[in-house]
């Protein structure tokens, strides 16, 4: 029987950053991950961006989340001697009807992030538009590289278990939990992404997973300096490769690339660019979303040794470092309150059935 203080279930963005924070805090832990369960982190664009574009405004809680995100990924990069964060200016296509809003954006909270608004600006391969809004503090995180590095380190230290936690085989006592008849832990932190929908401990109507699809294209004549943004993003990966995404759908919620998804992405891409391209890949995944679009973090209402860290939705890169740090801080300080905007207790009025 393997014994550990904390078992993290799931090794996506949530579980890997949780592991990083526990390691920094010197807390004993292991990570269990089921490779056969699809992982949203594998298909994500990895973008981080401080602004929302539908109506120009700051993304929720940016002022709290941004410094933690920067500090965490920078510390990881330094620790492992790798580059994960790629800072790239975003160029948002601004149309006539949006121009006033963008001009006013210079005087609002969004101002520090608007690098420039240039009327008549042109970018190679992009269709002409009234103006381009250039956004600083944007870029992407190489999530796949991070998960590989994180797993390698955990495997080397004997802290990684490849396998699925089977809920029916879980025995939960007051101070001990037995998992799959092979592991004994004092606490479990469930970081299962969209698979949480099957977790009998955290069944509630605030879980609203949604499907996203993404294309990879080869476009030899398209500019590679900026992340181009309009109804979809076009993220340069180097060597004329780009990711184009993403779709949002609630029906069906599966991980199969669809013809509808491909058509939608292609139509939105064709509205943006004037150069030829070839589609080389098509991905689909499920975002672990919550109905108020904020993560859920904290202990089960009746079982204080079971924790949830979920709901990263479409902003996992920005949200995960803050959440992992907040949960570790709470564990270290004997349940110091978790900030209200990410605390699972904001849904306390909703049912959390006890399962024995
Ligand atoms: C098309 C698409 C594009 C996206 N683009 C972006 C983007 O540009 N920027 C951004 O910030 N976010 C983006 N996202 C969202 C991002 O992917 C998620 O927010 C984030 O990756 C979720 O991480 P997670 O660790 O919660 O879940 P996951 O990455 O899904 O990981 C959960 C892990 O738990 C494991 N697991 C589940 N149940 C069990 C069990 N019982 N036993 C053992 N293991 C288990 C699974 O195998 C999996 O490895 C995108 C998502 C999609 C689908």
Q: Record the tokens describing residue 160, joined without a space.
A: 């990684």
Closest ligand 1 atom number to CA of residue 14: 25
Write the DSSP symbol of residue 274: -
Q: How far does the centroid of ligand 1 lie from the alpha carbon of residue 40, in Å? A: 3
Per-residue pLDDT, 355:
38
352 has a pLDDT exceeding 50: no
d(CA 116, CA 134): 5
Task: Report pLDDT digits (tens) over 24-51.
Answer: 999 999 999 999 999 999 999 999 999 9
Strand partners, 285: 212
| Tokens 């994960």, residue located | 84
107 has a pLDDT exceeding 80: no
- Nearest residue CA, atom 2 of ligand 1? 44
Q: How far does the centroid of ligand 1 lie from the alpha carbon of residue 193, in Å? A: 5
Contact 186, 2 (CB under 8 A): no
Q: How far does the centroid of ligand 1 lie from the alpha carbon of residue 185, in Å? A: 24
- Nearest residue CA, atom 25 of ligand 1? 12
356 has a pLDDT exceeding 50: no
Count of beta carbons in the 10 Å neighbourhood of residue 159: 20
Q: How far does the centroid of ligand 1 lie from the alpha carbon of residue 89, in Å? A: 25
Contacts 24+ apart (CB under 8 A), 104-109: 105/56, 105/133, 109/57, 109/58
Count of beta carbons in the 10 Å neighbourhood of residue 234: 27
> Coil, strand or helix: which one is 182?
coil
Q: How far is CA 187 from CA 7, 112, 179, 299, 325, in A?
A: 6, 42, 11, 10, 17
- Which percentage of the chain shows pLDDT scores above 90? 84
Substitution site in 162, 193, 324 for ligand 1 pocket (most atoms within 8 Å of beta carbon) = 193
Maximum pairwise Cα distance, the chain = 67
- Nearest residue CA, atom 4 of ligand 1? 44
| Tokens 């959390």, residue located | 352
Q: Calculate mean pLDDT across residues 334-340.
A: 82
Closest ligand 1 atom number to CA of residue 247: 1
- Nearest residue CA, atom 35 of ligand 1? 10
Q: Calculate mean pLDDT across residues 168-178.
A: 89
Q: Which of 306, 304, 320, 308 is nearest to 347 (CA)?
A: 308
Q: What is the mean pLDDT of the chain?
A: 93
Contact 352, 302 (CB under 8 A): yes
**CA dihedral defined by 114, 86, 262, 207, rounded to 10 degrees?**
-80
What are the pocket residues of ligand 1 if the criterion is a CB atom closer than 6 Å to any ligand atom?
A: 9-15, 32-34, 37, 39-41, 43-47, 164-165, 191-195, 212-214, 245-246, 285, 287-288, 310, 312-318
Per-residue pLDDT, 353:
43
Q: How far does the centroid of ligand 1 lie from the alpha carbon of residue 290, in Å? A: 13
Closest ligand 1 atom number to CA of residue 35: 47
Q: Which of 352, 285, 337, 339 is nearest to 313 (CA)?
A: 285
- Nearest residue CA, atom 15 of ligand 1? 314
Substitution site in 8, 19, 37 for ligand 1 pocket (most atoms within 8 Å of beta carbon) = 37
Substitution site in 261, 314, 321, 324 for ligand 1 pocket (most atoms within 8 Å of beta carbon) = 314
Domains of the chain and any CATH numbers: 2-43+144-206+291-347 (3.50.50.60), 89-137+210-287 (3.30.9.10)
Task: Report pLDDT digits (tens) over 253-276.
Answer: 999 999 999 999 999 999 999 999
Q: Strand 278-287's sheet: what is its strand order?
A: 114-119, 131-135, 90-94, 227-229, 233-238, 241-245, 210-218, 278-287
Contact 48, 20 (CB under 8 A): no
351 has a pLDDT exceeding 60: no
Q: How confident is the model at residue 174 (pLDDT cuts 50, 70, 90)?
A: confident
Substitution site in 66, 138, 316, 321 for ligand 1 pocket (most atoms within 8 Å of beta carbon) = 316
Q: Record the tokens describing residue 169, joined without a space.
A: 């085989």
Q: How confident is the model at residue 337 (pLDDT cuts 50, 70, 90)?
A: confident
61 has a pLDDT exceeding 50: yes
322 has a pLDDT exceeding 50: yes
Contact 208, 290 (CB under 8 A): yes
347 has a pLDDT exceeding 70: yes
d(CA 215, CA 284): 9
Q: How confident is the model at residue 335 (pLDDT cuts 50, 70, 90)?
A: low
Q: Strand 139-141's sheet: what is its strand order?
A: 47-48, 139-141, 85-87
Q: Record the tokens describing residue 261, joined without a space.
A: 């998804």
354 has a pLDDT exceeding 70: no
74 has a pLDDT exceeding 90: yes
Return the ∠ at Cα 260 (arms to 258 and 261), rounded to 5°: 65
Q: How far does the centroid of ligand 1 lie from the alpha carbon of residue 246, in Å? A: 15
Q: How far does the centroid of ligand 1 lie from the alpha carbon of residue 309, in Å? A: 12
d(CA 225, CA 264): 25
- Nearest residue CA, atom 26 of ligand 1? 193
pTM, rounded to two decimals: 0.95
């Amino acid at each position: 029987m393997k014994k550990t203080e904390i078992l993290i279930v799931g090794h996506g963005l949530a579980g890997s950053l949780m592991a990083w924070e526990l390691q920094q805090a010197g807390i004993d832990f292991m990570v269990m991950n089921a490779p056969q369960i699809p992982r949203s982190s594998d298909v994500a664009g990895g973008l981080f961006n401080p602004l929302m574009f539908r109506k120009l405004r700051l993304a929720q809680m940016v002022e709290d989340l941004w410094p933690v995100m920067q500090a965490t990924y920078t510390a990881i990069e330094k620790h492992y001697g790798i580059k994960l964060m790629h800072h790239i200016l975003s160029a948002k296509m601004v149309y006539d009807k949006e121009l006033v809003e963008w001009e006013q954006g210079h005087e609002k909270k969004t101002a520090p992030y608007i690098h420039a608004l240039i009327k008549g600006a042109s970018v190679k391969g992009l269709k002409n538009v009234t103006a381009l809004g250039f956004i600083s503090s944007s870029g992407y995180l190489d999530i796949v590289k991070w998960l590989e590095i994180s797993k390698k380190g955990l495997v080397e230290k004997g802290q990684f278990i490849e396998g699925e936690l089977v809920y029916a085989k879980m025995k939960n006592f007051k101070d001990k939990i037995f998992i799959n008849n092979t592991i004994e832990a004092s606490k479990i932190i469930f970081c299962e992404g969209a698979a949480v929908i099957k977790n009998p401990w955290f069944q509630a109507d605030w879980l609203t997973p949604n499907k996203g699809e993404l294309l990879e294209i080869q476009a030899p004549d398209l500019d590679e300096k900026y992340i181009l943004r309009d109804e979809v993003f076009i993220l340069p990966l180097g060597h004329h490769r780009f990711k184009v995404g993403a779709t949002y759908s609630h029906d069906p919620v599966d991980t199969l690339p669809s013809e509808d998804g491909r058509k939608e992405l292609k139509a939105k891409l064709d509205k943006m660019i004037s150069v030829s391209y070839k589609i080389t890949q098509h991905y689909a995944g499920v975002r672990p979303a919550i109905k108020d679009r904020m993560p859920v973090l904290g202990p089960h209402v009746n079982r204080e040794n079971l924790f949830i860290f979920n709901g990263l939705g479409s902003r996992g890169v920005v949200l995960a470092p803050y959440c992992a740090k907040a949960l570790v801080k709470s564990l270290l300080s004997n349940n110091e309150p978790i900030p209200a905007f990410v605390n699972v207790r904001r849904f306390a009025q909703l049912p959390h059935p006890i399962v024995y």
